[in-house]
């Protein structure tokens, strides 16, 4: 079975946690795309939910699927957030942001009463760090921020980590990748992160850093699609 089919299985299983009247944070990426698709089917069959999209792409997909959306400046309780991840460790700490949406994803996930991660089983790891850690940074004087990030990495035992300013896609005209909030992303190849909470705190203390892709202690359940069905963690 393909990873994509596993993603769809995970998304379908997460919908068992959705009930009438809920306000849902809706993640971004290819797994979240399956979620939007399947949620749209349920909405058309009569389920009443409101969604808060975590990216412009998810907003577009959810609108097309007929899901009622909450405006970002509307104050509301978020009952449940369902989102993908790039890595999930045994304590449900995550690396996110492979799709560049982790700032909005983290705002919504942190505000949600509960977060469920949906992923194919390759995302389940013993330790975070193989997937490059995305860090969203302010564009102004970005080389100074990158320099400060290097110092923070060294202070966290990650002196040999390599940093790369994320390039823009060919469809977007190349150049440097811009997030939905018009910031840059630095991808940090760490190989292994021994203390994710300490690294997150050090990086977030740098003035030009807007948000890291480390989600520490936010998710309460992960659902992994496998060839045989789903596996859960949490």
Backbone angles phi, psi at 164, to 5 degrees: -140, 125
**Cβ closest to ligand 5RP, residue 99 vs residue 129:** 99
Kindly identify the residues of this chain, within the stretch 96-135, that bind ligand 5RP according to CB under 6 A. 96-102, 105
Q: What does the chain come to in residues?
A: 234
Q: Which of residues 162-201 bind ligand 5RP (CB under 6 A)?
A: none
Q: How far is the CB of 97 from ligand 5RP (least distance, A)?
A: 5
- The answer to whether 27 contacts ligand 5RP (rule: CB under 6 A) is yes
Report if residue 30 touches ligand 5RP, rule: CB under 6 A: yes
71 a catalytic residue:
no
Query: Is residue 98 a known part of a binding site?
Result: yes
Buried b (16+ CB within 10 A) or exposed e, 77-108: ebbbbbbbbbbbbeebbbbbbbbbbbbbbbeb
- DSSP assignment of 31-86 equals HHHHHHHHHHHHHHTT---EEEESSHHHHHHHHHTT-EE--TTS-----EEEE--S
Q: Is 79 annotated as a binding residue?
A: no
Site string for ligand 5RP, 72-101 (x = CB under 6 A): -----------xxxx---------xxxxxx
Tokens of 145: 């921020």
Least gap, CB of 30 to ligand 5RP (angstroms):
3
Size of site (CB under 6 A) for ligand 5RP: 17
- Smallest distance from the beta carbon of 8 to ligand 5RP, in angstroms? 11
* Binding-site residue set for substrate: 28-31, 83-86, 96-99, 123
In the complex, which residues of this chain contact ligand 5RP (CB under 6 A)?
27-31, 83-86, 96-102, 105
Catalytic site positions? 105
């Amino acid at each position: 079975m393909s990873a994509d089919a596993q993603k769809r299985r995970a998304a379908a299983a997460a919908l068992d946690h959705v009930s009438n009247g809920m306000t849902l944070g809706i993640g971004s990426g290819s797994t979240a795309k399956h979620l939007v698709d399947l949620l749209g089917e349920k909405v058309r069959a009569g389920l009443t939910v409101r969604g808060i999209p975590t990216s412009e792409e998810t907003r577009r997909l959810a609108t097309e699927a007929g899901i009622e959306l909450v405006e970002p400046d509307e104050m509301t309780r978020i009952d449940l957030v369902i989102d993908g991840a790039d890595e999930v460790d045994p304590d449900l700490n995550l690396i996110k942001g492979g799709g560049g949406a982790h700032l909005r994803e983290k705002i919504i996930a942190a505000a949600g009463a509960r977060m469920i991660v949906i992923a194919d089983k390759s995302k389940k790891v013993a330790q975070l760090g193989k997937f490059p850690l995305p860090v969203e940074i302010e564009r102004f004087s970005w080389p100074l921020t990158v320099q400060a990030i290097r110092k923070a990495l060294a202070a966290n035992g990650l002196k040999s980590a390599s940093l790369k300013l994320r390039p823009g896609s060919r469809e977007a005209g190349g150049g440097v990748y811009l997030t939905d909030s018009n910031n840059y992303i630095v991808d940090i190849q760490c190989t292994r992160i021994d203390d994710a909470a300490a690294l997150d705190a050090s990086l977030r203390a740098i003035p030009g850093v807007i948000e890291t892709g480390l989600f520490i202690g936010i998710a309460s359940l992960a659902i992994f699609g496998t060839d045989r069905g789903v596996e859960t963690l949490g």
